[in-house]
Amino acid sequence: MQPDAAQRPTLADVAARAGVSQSTASLAFSGSGPVSDATKQRVLAAASDLGYAGPDPRARSLRRGRSGIVGVVLEERVRAAFLDPVKIQMLDGISEGIAPLGAGLLLLTDTGETDESAVSIESAPVDAVVLVGCSPRLGVSIEALRRRGIPAVAIEGDTGEDIPEISIDNLQATRRGAEYLRQLGHTDVAIVTLPFDAARTRGPLTEELLRSSTAATASQRLAGAREIFPEATGRAAAASSIEEGIEAARALLADPASRPTAIIAQSDLLAAGVIQAAEELGMHVPGDVSVLGFDGIRVDGLQHDLTTLAQPSVAKGRAAGEAVVQMLSGEPPESRCFTSTLHVGDTTAPPRAAC
């Protein structure tokens, strides 16, 4: 109505110009329905004349009830997540798994802040959601998802709900790794764990910390190790990073009199940190201390072939993506548990004979 510059043309405008009804114009675009070729061409021509760029995705998604977007919820901020190779591999797997949907991937972070008007897990136009390594801290958000009827899949996160879960044999894998260390002759083993709680408390493994654990992954891996080394103690890191590994190892190796002969790290990044700290202290790996990792990634700058429990990260992501596809097509969701394999590198060896 107003001489207001360029009101963007709508489907109605196109239809009018092509001399057809709006419904026909819609069909010409979406292709779902019988439209004569001539009409279709006419509509397309009109659209082109008007500079119409195709149906508005917002209106379309409102009507269709689908947005064509799958959300990926990362517990950390984007920066942190991208620094973790495991996360990236999963992301890649997810994008592969949902490929048949032709859907986009929306990065969501569970920062805990409930910013008004911000696009959060509770208010994002997504058709489904993949929770990557999320703690139950997400309880509220998950509840919102359930209410909104948005299907969700969790990767390595004990959601405690009826959400299908893609996981690995954390406990058994770690036990296998620990068993290997015992076979090498180790008896004095320390553990560097992933964070146990939302606060990411860093420090010694106290009973209290374990009791308050909300991170299944860390707990399970610890349990697996303790099935072999019941007395094993250690430290919890505040994140899965080299930095944190260094920090933890410095504490564990501080006193030359009480040094363990092997350290089980719950991630390769932590393991890399442990190795670095050990070497800084003049220790030799695996001569003075064996180091076992978890993940099976290549760690930036690490000069060793890490002995580790290799997990199929990409496959996990893909499985999650496939589960999303299933759920969206009405099939019942399906949890899956993958198996990790022990990769023996050059960071483990029999303990140096006590002198």
Binding residues for a second copy, per CB under 8 A? Answer: 8, 31, 51-59, 61-62, 65, 67-69, 71, 77-79, 82, 88, 91-92, 95-96, 102-108, 115-119, 122-125, 144, 147-149, 298-303
Number of residues that bind DNA (CB under 7 A): 32
Query: What minimum distance in Å lies between the beta carbon of 31 and a second copy?
Result: 7
CA distance 30 to 11: 12
The DSSP annotation for 179-233 comes to HHHHHHT---EEEEEPP-STT---EE--HHHHHT---HHHHHHHHHHHHH-TT-E
Q: Indicate the residue among 39 and 61 with the shorter CB distance to a second copy.
A: 61
Tokens of 185: 């002759």
Contact partner at residue 230 from a second copy, DNA, none, CB < 5 to 8 Å by partner kind: none
Tokens of 350: 């029999």
- Positions in 225-264 near DNA (CB under 7 A): none
Interacting residues with DNA between 43 and 82 (CB under 7 A): 52, 54-56, 58-60, 62-65
C-alpha–C-alpha distance, residues 169 and 297, integer Å: 17
347 interacts with DNA by CB under 7 A = no
CA distance 13 to 11: 5
Listed ranges 22-30, 134-142, 191-199, 242-250: which one lies at the site for DNA (CB under 7 A): 22-30
Report how far residue 110's alpha carbon sits from residue 99's, in angstroms, rounded to the nearest whole number.
24
Q: Does 118 bind DNA (CB under 7 A)?
A: no
Going by C-alpha positions, the residue among 154, 164, 112 that lies closest to residue 132 is 154
Calpha distance 226→230 (Å, rounded): 4
* Pick 282 or 301: Cβ nearer a second copy: 301
Which position among 22, 201, 214, 233 is part of the footprint of DNA (CB under 7 A)? 22
Taking the complex as a whole, the smallest distance from the CB of residue 88 to a second copy amounts, in Å, to 5
38 binds DNA (CB under 7 A): yes
Judge residue 7's burial from the number of C-beta atoms within 10 Å of its C-beta, 0-12 exposed, 13-18 middle, 19 or more buried.
exposed
Residues of the shown chain interacting with DNA in the complex, contacts defined by CB under 7 A: 8, 10-12, 19-24, 26-27, 29-30, 32-36, 38-39, 52, 54-56, 58-60, 62-65
